Amino acid sequence: MEPTNSLNAAQKLHLLTSCQHVDKLLGEIESILIASESKSPFPKYKPDLSRAQAGVVGNYIARTRAQMLRALESQSVEPPEAKFGSLHSIRVTLAFAGIALDECSAKNMRGYGELPETLAPEINGLVDELKGVISGLDAYLAQGLGQDLEARLEKLQCEGSDLGLVKSLERIIQTHGLVEFRSAISHIVDRLECARFEIAFFGRVSSGKSSLLNRIVQREVLPVGVTPVTAVTTRVVFGPAERASVWFADHGPDYFDLSRLAEFATEQHNPANGRQVTRILVELPCARLQDGMVYVDTPGLGSLATAGSAETIAYLPRCDLGVVLVDAGSTLTEEDLSTIRALYDAGIPALVLLSKADLLSPVDRERARSYAAEHIVSELGLALPVDPVSAKADHLELLEEWLRMRILPFNSRHAELSRESLQRKIGALRAGVDAALRAKLYRTGPVRDDRVAALEMDLRQLAGRFSEVRSATLEIAGEIRASRDFAVRYAAAAIVAESAIGNRSASAIAASAIERFAAEKARPIAVMLNELAHDSASLLARVASELVSGIAPDTNEFANLLMEMPRLEIGFNLAIRPGWFASRLGASWARRRVESKLRAQIEDRVTAAISSHGKQLESWLRHTVAAMQNRFDSYADVYRAELDRLANHHGVSAEEASQIQNDIEKITRA
- SS3 letters across 206-267: CCCHHHHHHHHCCCCCCCCCCCCCECCCEEEEECCCCEEEEEECCCCCEEECHHHHHHHHEC
Angstrom CA distances, 586 to 503, 574, 582, stand at: 20, 21, 5
Q: Can you tell me the mean pLDDT for 533-545?
A: 90
- At residue 643, the pLDDT reads 80
- Does the pLDDT value for residue 27 go beyond 50? yes
What does the alpha-carbon distance between residue 127 and residue 122 come to, in Å, rounded to a whole number? 9
Angle between helices 587-647 and 362-380 (to 10 degrees): 80
Classify residue 427: in a domain, yes or no: no
Question: Does residue 113 or residue 272 have the better pLDDT?
Answer: 113
Last residue of a domain, one of 350, 365, 391: 391
Highest-confidence range of 8-17, 136-145, 310-319, 461-470, by mean pLDDT? Answer: 461-470
Of 308, 294, 346, 323, nearest in space to 203 by CA? 323
- Does the pLDDT value for residue 321 go beyond 70? yes
Highest-confidence range of 95-109, 334-348, 494-508, by mean pLDDT? Answer: 95-109
Q: Indicate whether 386 and 482 sit together in one domain.
A: no
What does the alpha-carbon distance between residue 400 and residue 409 come to, in Å, rounded to a whole number? 14
**How much is the mean pLDDT over the chain?**
79
Last residue of a domain, one of 344, 372, 391: 391
Q: Indicate whether 228 and 344 sit together in one domain.
A: yes
Q: Indicate whether 633 and 512 sit together in one domain.
A: yes
Q: Which pLDDT band, with edges at 50, 70 and 90, does 147 fall under?
A: very low
Q: Which pLDDT band, with edges at 50, 70 and 90, does 469 fall under?
A: very high
- At residue 649, the pLDDT reads 60
- Does the pLDDT value for residue 106 go beyond 60? yes
What does the alpha-carbon distance between residue 289 and residue 236 come to, in Å, rounded to a whole number? 8
- At residue 308, the pLDDT reads 44
Classify residue 445: in a domain, yes or no: no
- Does the pLDDT value for residue 525 go beyond 70? yes
Q: Indicate whether 484 and 347 sit together in one domain.
A: no
Q: Indicate whether 379 and 463 sit together in one domain.
A: no
Residues 6+ apart with CB under 8 A from 465: 121, 124, 125, 532, 535
Classify residue 491: in a domain, yes or no: yes
Question: Does residue 75 or residue 413 have the better pLDDT?
Answer: 75
Classify residue 147: in a domain, yes or no: no
Angstrom CA distances, 485 to 167, 587, 602, 661, stand at: 62, 19, 11, 68
Classify residue 211: in a domain, yes or no: yes
DSSP state, residue 406: I
- At residue 549, the pLDDT reads 54
3-state secondary structure 628-668: HHHHHHHHHHHHHHHHHHHHCCCCCCHHHHHHHHHHHHHHH
Q: Are 510 and 535 in contact (CB under 8 A)?
A: no
Residues 6+ apart with CB under 8 A from 145: 247, 251, 252, 278
Q: Which pLDDT band, with edges at 50, 70 and 90, does 226 fall under?
A: very low
What does the alpha-carbon distance between residue 212 and residue 222 come to, in Å, rounded to a whole number? 10
Q: Indicate whether 210 and 354 sit together in one domain.
A: yes
What does the alpha-carbon distance between residue 321 and residue 402 come to, in Å, rounded to a whole number? 14
Q: Indicate whether 356 and 481 sit together in one domain.
A: no
- At residue 303, the pLDDT reads 37
Classify residue 155: in a domain, yes or no: no
Q: Give Cα 130 to chain centroid, integer Å.
A: 18
- Under DSSP, is residue 40 helix (H, G, I), strand (E, B) or coil? coil
Into how many domains does the chain fold? 3
- At residue 653, the pLDDT reads 75
What does the alpha-carbon distance between residue 533 and residue 526 come to, in Å, rounded to a whole number? 10
Classify residue 267: in a domain, yes or no: yes
What does the alpha-carbon distance between residue 466 and residue 495 come to, in Å, rounded to a whole number? 40
Q: Identity (one letter) of the amino acid at 154? A: E
Highest-confidence range of 417-421, 475-479, 575-579, 638-642, by mean pLDDT? Answer: 475-479
What is the b/e burial string over 635-650, where b = at least 16 CB atoms within 10 angstroms of the residue's CB? Answer: bbbbbbbbbebbbebe
The angle subtended at Cα 252 by Cα 250 and Cα 256, nearest 5°, is: 130
Rg (CA), the chain: 31
- At residue 607, the pLDDT reads 84
Q: Indicate whether 378 and 520 sit together in one domain.
A: no
- At residue 528, the pLDDT reads 94
* Alpha-helical regions (H) of 5-119: 9-37, 51-74, 86-102, 106-109
- Domain of residue 28 covers 16-80
Q: Can you tell me the mean pLDDT for 497-501?
A: 65
Q: What is the dihedral of CA 241, 192, 346, 641, to 10 degrees?
A: 140
Classify residue 182: in a domain, yes or no: no
Question: How would you classify the pairing of strands 277-284 and 243-248?
Answer: antiparallel
Which residue(s) pair with 247 in the sheet?
279
Q: What is the pLDDT of residues 350-400, one digit of tens each?
A: 899 998 888 888 899 998 899 899 888 888 888 898 999 988 888 889 989
CATH number, residue 324: 3.40.50.300
Least confident window among 141-150, 164-173, 272-281: 141-150
Q: How many CB atoms lie within 10 A of CB 606?
A: 24
Of 571, 592, 588, 583, nearest in space to 506 by CA? 571
Last residue of a domain, one of 64, 80, 96: 80
Q: Indicate whether 540 and 611 sit together in one domain.
A: yes
Of 504, 521, 520, 514, nearest in space to 606 by CA? 514
